């Protein structure tokens, strides 16, 4: 009887372990992903990087998240854009200048967008974020958790109607692919493949291959299938340079 019971118990234990693994929620997947990617280090460290000839800086000042973008308008003019919470300021050669509300919103969204993608998956635990596990999906012959992200209107920013998808590695929980639809400037869809992963002082950074549909777009939930079938074309590459991470 003992010889029969031991194998049965082993089978039962393995089955329970596998079932437990299948029972992960979207929140648990994202929590694991954030922990693997640097966790709360983004809050305690100043991060700077160069992207398309512009310098970006993120830091926490007096408990508030501050995003900056610095670039040369010409040989004698340096522009510094600062997004602090919901506020936006523009400095020209260290002098604060007035910016029309419409343009201030546009500039602030542009600054926020770059920092948002660089900090992923950290921002996926913001209060306005809604997460839904859609199951598993295979991308390039590998299976991933597929998570859908939407935003509340309150606190979700001007692009709160956008829908995002993330594909998380089943073992490491790293988000190796993401996609989103957007409604500004005529709308559209994008699909991004992460590459060139590196850790700088404990924080994960990646570059992206940025794709768009070759023809008329299908629903955003089918964009992974479209990628597998060769239905997307490479639009650009998103590459970070001169990354620096320092304790605040």
Which domains, and CATH codes, for the chain? 27-247 (2.50.20)
Residue 154: what pLDDT? Answer: 66
pLDDT number for residue 8: 46
Whether 127 and 120 have beta carbons less than 8 Å apart is answered as no
pLDDT confidence of residue 203: 96
Give me the pLDDT at residue 9, please.
47
Phi, then psi, of 176 in degrees rounded to 5: -85, -15
Q: Is the pLDDT of residue 1 over 80?
A: no
pLDDT digits 0-9 by tens, 24-67: 999 999 999 999 999 889 888 999 999 999 999 999 888 889 99
Percent of the chain with pLDDT over 70: 87
CA distance 240 to 88: 24
113 vs 1, residue with greater confidence: 113
What pLDDT score does 217 carry? 72
* Residue 103 dihedral angles phi and psi, to the nearest 5°: -75, -35
Question: Would residue 62 be called left, alpha or beta, if left means φ above 0 and alpha means ψ between -120 and 50 degrees?
Answer: left
Mean per-residue pLDDT, 115-123: 94
Give the pLDDT confidence of 165-209 residue by residue, as tens digits: 999 999 999 999 999 998 777 778 999 999 999 999 999 999 999
Percent of the chain with pLDDT over 90: 73
Confidence of residue 21 (pLDDT cuts 50, 70, 90): low
- Asked if the model's pLDDT at residue 20 lies above 50, the reply is no
Q: Is 148:163 a contact under the CB 8 Å cutoff?
A: yes
Q: What SS3 state is found at 100?
A: coil
- pTM of the complete model: 0.86
The rounded distance, in Å, linking the Cα atoms of 76 and 67 is 23
**pLDDT value at position 3?**
54
Cα(206)–Cα(199) distance, integer angstroms: 9
């Amino acid at each position: 009887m003992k010889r029969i019971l031991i194998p049965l118990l082993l089978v039962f234990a393995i089955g329970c372990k596998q079932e437990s693994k299948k029972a992960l929620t979207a929140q648990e997947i994202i929590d694991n992903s954030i922990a693997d990617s640097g966790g709360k280090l983004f809050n305690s460290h100043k991060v700077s990087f160069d992207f398309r000839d512009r310098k970006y800086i993120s830091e926490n000042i007096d408990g508030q998240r501050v995003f900056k973008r610095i670039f040369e308008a010409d040989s004698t003019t340096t522009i510094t854009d600062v997004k602090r919470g919901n506020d936006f300021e523009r400095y020209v050669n260290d002098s604060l200048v007035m910016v029309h509300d419409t343009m201030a919103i546009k500039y602030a969204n542009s600054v926020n967008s770059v920092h948002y993608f660089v900090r992923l998956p950290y921002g996926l635990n913001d209060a306005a974020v809604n997460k839904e596990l859609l199951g598993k999906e295979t991308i390039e012959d590998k299976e991933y958790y597929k998570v859908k992200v939407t935003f509340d209107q309150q606190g979700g920013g001007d692009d709160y109607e956008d829908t995002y998808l993330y594909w998380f590695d089943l073992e490491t929980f790293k988000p190796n692919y993401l996609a989103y639809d957007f409604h500004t400037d005529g709308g559209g869809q994008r699909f991004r493949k992460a590459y060139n992963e590196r850790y700088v002082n404990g924080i994960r950074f990646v570059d992206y291959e940025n794709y768009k549909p070759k023809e008329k777009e299908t629903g955003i939930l089918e964009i992974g299938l479209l990628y597998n079938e060769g239905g997307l074309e490479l639009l650009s590459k998103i590459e970070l340079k001169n990354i620096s991470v320092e304790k605040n």
